Amino acid sequence: MKKSKAIVMLLVFLLLVGVFGYTAAVGFGADGSGSASSINLGLDLEGGVSITYQVVGEDPDSEDMADTIYKLQRRVEAYSNEAIVYQEGSNRINIEIPGVSDANAILEDLGKPGSLYFIAEKDPEGNLNYQVVGTDNDGKPVYMMSKTIEDLETDGASIVLLGTDVRNAQARSTSNDMQNTEFVVDLSMTEEGAKKFADATSKAFQNGESIGIYYDGAIISAPGVNAAITDGQAQITGNFTYEEAQQLASTIRIGGLKLELEELHSKIVGAQLGEEAISTSIKAAAVGFALIVLFMIVIYHISGVAASLALGLYVELIVILLDAFEITLTLPGIAGIILSIGMAVDANVIIFARIREEIAKGKTVKSAIDIGFKKAASAIVDGNMTTLIAAAVLGVLGSGTIKGFAATLALGIVLSMFTAMVITKLLMKSFYAVGLTSEKLYGRAKEKKAVRFTARKTVFFGISIAVVLAGFVFMGINKAQNGGALNYSLEFVGGTATNVTFNEDMALGDIDAKVVPLIEKITGDGNVQSQKVEGTNEVIFKTRSLNTQERENFKSVMVENFQVEAEKITTETISSTISSEMKSDAIVAVIVATLCMLVYIWFRFKDIRFGASSVIALLHDVLVVLAFYAIVRVSVGTTFIACMLTIVGYSINATIVIFDRIRENMRNMGKNESLEEMVNGSITQTLSRSIFTSLTTFIMVAALYVFGVSSVKEFALPLMAGILCGTYSSVCITGALWLVLRKVFPNKA
C-alpha cells in the first residue's frame, strides 16, 4: 500500500468514526436524538404499559389459567420479545409490554381475549342473524350478531368450532395461479378441532354454506368452503393486505384462549430496575472500555491502537444497528453485547499473537501481518460460528428475554468479526505504509517452555468433580433448609406485588436510593423490582414471596419512614413471569444449540472427539457456575438464563482456539514428539490469548459489578465466576480430556 493511499484511508476511517459517533450520540433527525437514545429498552430498563385482565365467571382451573397465560405470552411477543404475562391473585392476568405508552392502542389491538366462535351459516348479507352497525375505515359494512350465541343455538345455528380448537393461525404470502403475490391466513387445528372441522366443512360444502368467524360478537371473516378439509389444515384467502392478514391471524390466535377475560385496568409503569440501572451500566461500559483500550495499547503497542480504533467503531455500529433493527435491549441483552465485545477483543488477541510468532521466526513485519491474519482466520471463524449457531437456535426456539439475548449476541458476533478481520487489518496495513515499520512497535513472541498441563490432569479433573459435587451437596442442603435448591427469584417462582401510594410524587432515583434498600433489609434479597405508575404517586414493589410478618414489617417501614397511610398499601400474590413452557423452550433451545455446535465442530475438525471434549467442557462450566449460584445463594432470575447462555458462548469460543492450534500442530509434529507434548505446546502457545481475553472480558463485567445497582451486581457476580471457570476449563481440562478420549477411542469417528 502506498503512503498517500494509507493516509487517505486513515482520514476516511476517522471521518467515518466521527459520522457514526455523531449518529449514535446526537443523530441527524429533526428531534436531534441519536441512535443511543432511540434504542428500544425492555421493562427492566425503561418500563411500558401494564394491563390487568380478570377472568369472566368463577375462579378458573389452574391448567386453563396456565394455558391462557402461555398463549397470551405468545400473542404479546408480537409487540416485543420482552413482553411478560403472569398471574396475579387467583383470577387475574397481568400483561406488561415495554417501550409503549398508549395503553388504549394496545387494548384496542388486543381486543377482548376469548369468545371466538366458528358458525356455519348462509352469507351474512342475506341472513337475519346479522345487522349492520356501521362501517370501517375503508367504508365497508361492519356486521354484528343480532342475537346472542345462546339464541342462535336455540334457533338451530350450528357452532362448529371454538377458538380453543385452533392450534395456531399465521399470516403469510403466497403466489396465486397468475403468479401474483397474495396474503393468506393459515389455520392449524388441534386433534379434536381437526375432527370437528372435517365434519363442519363437509356439511358446509354440501349445503353451500360459509363458516363465519366471530370475535367479541362481531363477524371478522366469513370464508366460503371450497372442499371438505379433513387434515386439520385450512387457509383463508381474500383480498387481504399483509396488515389485514396479520390482524386476522392475531385475532384468531388470541380468541383461542380457554378463558374469557375482561379488562380490569391499565397503567403506564416505569423501569423494573430503576433509572439508575441504565446510568450505572453506561458508566461501567465507559470505564471498562477505557481500561481495555489502555490494556491493549500497553500490551500490543501499535497493534493495540489499531484494535482500539476498530473496537470504537464496533461500539458505534452496534448502537446504530440496535436502533435500526429495533432490537429491544434488556439486561440479558447487555450480557450479549458484553460477550461480543469480549469476542471482538479475542479475535484481535489471536491475530496479534500470530503476528508476533511470525516476527520471531524471522519474517518481516509486513509479511508477518499478512501471515498472522491468515493463520488466525480459522480459529476466529470457527469460534464465532459456533457461537453464532447457538444464537440462531436460541433466536428461533427460545422465547422472551432469550430471543433478545440471541439477537444482540448475533449482531455483536457479526460486527466483531468484521471489525477484527477487516477494519483492524486495514488500519495495521495503513500504519505500516505511513512509516510505522519498526519491529518494536509490533512485538516479538518469546520462546516459552511448554507447561505440562496434561501431566496434572488427575488433579484438575479431581478439582472440577469436587466443585461440581459441592454444588449438588449445597443444593440438597438449601432444599432441606429453605425449600429450594437455588435462591429462585420472583421471575421463576412468583412473589408478592405491593402497591404503595406515597404522599408525594417520588422520583425513581429517590425510590432506588431511599426505599429499595429498606425493602432489601426486610427480604434479605437484592432482587427488588420497583415500578412507578405514571401520573400518580403509586409505586409497585415486586419481591420474593413475603409471609404475613414480612408484609406487616413492610407496611410498618412505609408508614414510619414515609408517612404512608396504611390503607394505601395493598399486597397481591403474583405468579412467575417465566412459565413452565418458557422454561422448557429454553432447555430445548440450549440442547439443540449444543448439538448443532457439536456437529459443526465435528465437521470442521473431522474428529468427533474434539466436539465431545468441547461439549463436556461446556457442561463442566455450566455446572460449576450452577454450584456458585447454590453456594453463594445468588438470586436466580431472568438474568440467570442470560448468564448461563453467555458462559456457553464464552466457553466454546475459548476451547475452539486451543483445538485449532492442536489441529495445526498435529500436521507439523516431529517424529520424536509425543501427542502429549504437542498438546502441552499448543496450550502454552495460546496461553497468553486465554489470559488476556479473559482479563479484558472480566474487566467489562467487573466494572458492571463495581458501578451497578443490586440487581446488576447479582447478574455480574456469577458472570465473573463463569469467565474464570471458562478460562480454567479451556486451559486445564479440554486438552487433557481430548487426550483421554483418544486413548479410550483410538479410532477416529
What pLDDT does residue 297 have? 93
pLDDT tens for 203-233 read: 888 887 778 888 766 777 878 788 888 888 9
In the chain, where the domains are located: 3-11+281-441, 49-112+266-270, 116-256, 454-472+579-744, 496-574
Q: What is the mean pLDDT of residues 358-373?
A: 92
The confidence score (pLDDT) of residue 67 equals: 79
pLDDT digits (tens, 9 = 90+) for 474-526: 999 998 887 788 888 877 888 898 999 999 888 777 887 889 889 988 988 77
For the segment 393-423, what is each residue's pLDDT rounded down to a tens digit?
Answer: 878 877 666 777 788 888 888 888 899 899 9
Mean pLDDT of the 608-625 span: 90
pLDDT of residue 270: 67
The reported pLDDT for the residue numbered 468 is 95
Query: For 45-49, 349-353, 675-679, 723-727, which range has the lowest pLDDT when averaged over its residues?
Result: 45-49
CATH fold of 49-112+266-270: Alpha-Beta Plaits (3.30.70)
CB of 727 closer than 8 Å to CB of 694: yes
With CA atoms as reference, report the closest residue to 322 among 48, 35, 735, 27. 35
User: Domain 454-472+579-744: what homologous superfamily?
Assistant: Multidrug efflux transporter AcrB transmembrane domain (1.20.1640.10)
Residues 166 and 187: their CA atoms lie apart, in Å, by 7
Q: What is the mean pLDDT of residues 258-282?
A: 72
CATH number of this structure's domain 496-574, picked from the four choices 3.30.70, 3.40.50, 1.10.1420, 3.10.450: 3.30.70
Q: How confident is the model at residue 134 (pLDDT cuts 50, 70, 90)?
A: very low
Query: What 3-state DSSP class applies to 410?
Result: helix
Cβ neighbours, 10 Å, residue 77: 17
pTM metric for this prediction: 0.72
Tell me if domain 3-11+281-441 and domain 454-472+579-744 are identical in fold: yes
Which position has the higher pLDDT, 172 or 463? 463
Q: How far is residue 154 from each of residues 71, 157, 204, 290, measured CA to CA in Å?
A: 31, 7, 19, 75
Position 128 pLDDT exceeds 50:
no
Spatial contact of 538 and 495, defined as CB atoms under 8 Å apart:
no
Cα(256)–Cα(234) distance, integer angstroms: 16
> Would the pLDDT of 132 be above 50?
no
Dihedrals φ, ψ of 97, to 5°? Answer: -120, 120
Can you tell me the distance from the alpha carbon of 509 to that of 515, in angstroms, rounded to the nearest whole number? 10
Q: What share of residues in the chain are helix, strand, coil (percent, to 5)?
A: 60, 15, 25
Distance CA 72, CA 577 (A): 12
Give kind and range of the element (H or E) at residue 172: strand 166-175
Predicted confidence at residue 157, as pLDDT, reads 57
Distance CA 499, CA 65 (A): 24
Domain 116-256 fold is Gyrase A; domain 2 (3.30.1360)
In which band, very low, low, confident or very high, does the pLDDT at 366 lie, cut at 50, 70 and 90?
Answer: very high
| pLDDT tens digits, 681-723 | 999 998 988 888 888 888 888 888 888 777 678 778 898 999 8
- pLDDT > 50? residue 142: no
**Residue-level pLDDT at 271:** 67
CATH architecture for segment(s) 3-11+281-441 = Up-down Bundle (1.20)
Cα torsion for 376, 379, 383, 385, to the nearest 10°?
Answer: 90
Query: 534, 268 in Cβ contact below 8 A?
Result: yes
pLDDT at 424: 93
